Amino acid sequence: MELHALPFDVETAFAKVKKKQLKKLVKLRGPDSPLYRAIWPMIYVVRVFGFAPYNFSQDRLVPSNINLIFTAIATIFYSYVSYQVFSRFLFNQSTKKETEPLDRTEDTKIITNYIVVMYELGLTAFTRRSFVRIWNALQDFDEEVRQLGYPRKETRTAVVAWILVIVTAALWIVVNRLGMYAFEEKWTDNMGYMMPHIGTSVAIYKFVAMVIFLGQRFHHLNTIAMQNLPFTSARGNGMIISKKMVLSMYNDLMIAAENLDSLYSWSLLFWLASLSLNTISDMFFVIQWLLMKQPDVQMGPVISCLCTWLLAFVFQL
């Protein structure tokens, strides 16, 4: 029996190893990246409310015309429910002999909230390319530090994301139930009033999440720099971390932060104006009720509902 040596093609073997390495690399980017896997519940919530018209093409986030349909549907939906709510408020006021201060305040709040949520949707639709560049900058940073031997762990981010989704959902459910009881409204009517508020809060959570992600990466980069500078050191994978490399990554993060700031500067101003209007008006009626010598017991459910609204507004801060 003769033994024959099997032919060994070095180039073929190298190509297979390289392919496996690239496949492993892709799995840590795009929808398989640790950051995306940590916050996927938030992403789906933001998409349903019309504020995530993006999708992944291979391992890069790109604008998505298909997911833009959610934004278009949200625009129509918010317009419809705001019209229905405003019409109902005007009809109720027309049946009263005198218009109460609470009614006039609610008219202003409805119009303001509608304008803010429409601005947020328009901003999301027309600045998709700017936003995906910011996200891809975060992804590139994560990949670069992973190759240097300092991968980020997103366990805490995942826990916070789930807590935020659960607590926010529970808070808005409580607001809805108290509102239905206090104003004797149907579920659909009360949700119609709440939806522009919820949409605006989702848009703000999206911005806050991006700010937190940038802050986490600045902190991670500072940790790497403190461990390796002013001396250069070779890691186990042969990568050398130098001052020039750290400064390059720092500049990339700064560019992403500046782009995010320019993208949301007016959005934050409008949101703050709307939040101030809602908070001050609710606080006024609550304080007025507390200062009454003999508080109206029948107003108790309304005051409880307003206090819950205040809690929802404070939670956004």
Residue pLDDT, tens place only, 63-108: 999 999 999 999 999 999 888 888 877 766 666 655 455 667 777 8
Nearest Cα neighbor of 48 from 165, 189, 138, 158 is: 165
Residues of the chain with pLDDT under 70: 1-28, 91-103, 229-240, 292-299, 317
One-letter amino acid at 135 equals W
Whole-angstrom Cα distance, residue 58 to residue 26?
A: 8
What Rg do the C-alpha atoms of the chain give, in angstroms? 26
Q: What is the pLDDT of residue 133?
A: 93
CA distances to 4, 189, 314 from 176, rounded to whole Å, are 78, 10, 17
Q: What is the pLDDT of residue 74?
A: 92
CB-based contact 241:81 (threshold 8 Å): no
The helix (run of H) or strand (run of E) holding residue 61 is strand 60-63
Residue 159 CB: number of other CB atoms within 10 A?
11
Structure pTM?
A: 0.80
Q: What is the pLDDT of residue 255?
A: 93
Q: What is the pLDDT of residue 29?
A: 72
Q: Which residues pair with 54 in a beta bridge?
A: 63
Q: What is the pLDDT of residue 239?
A: 57
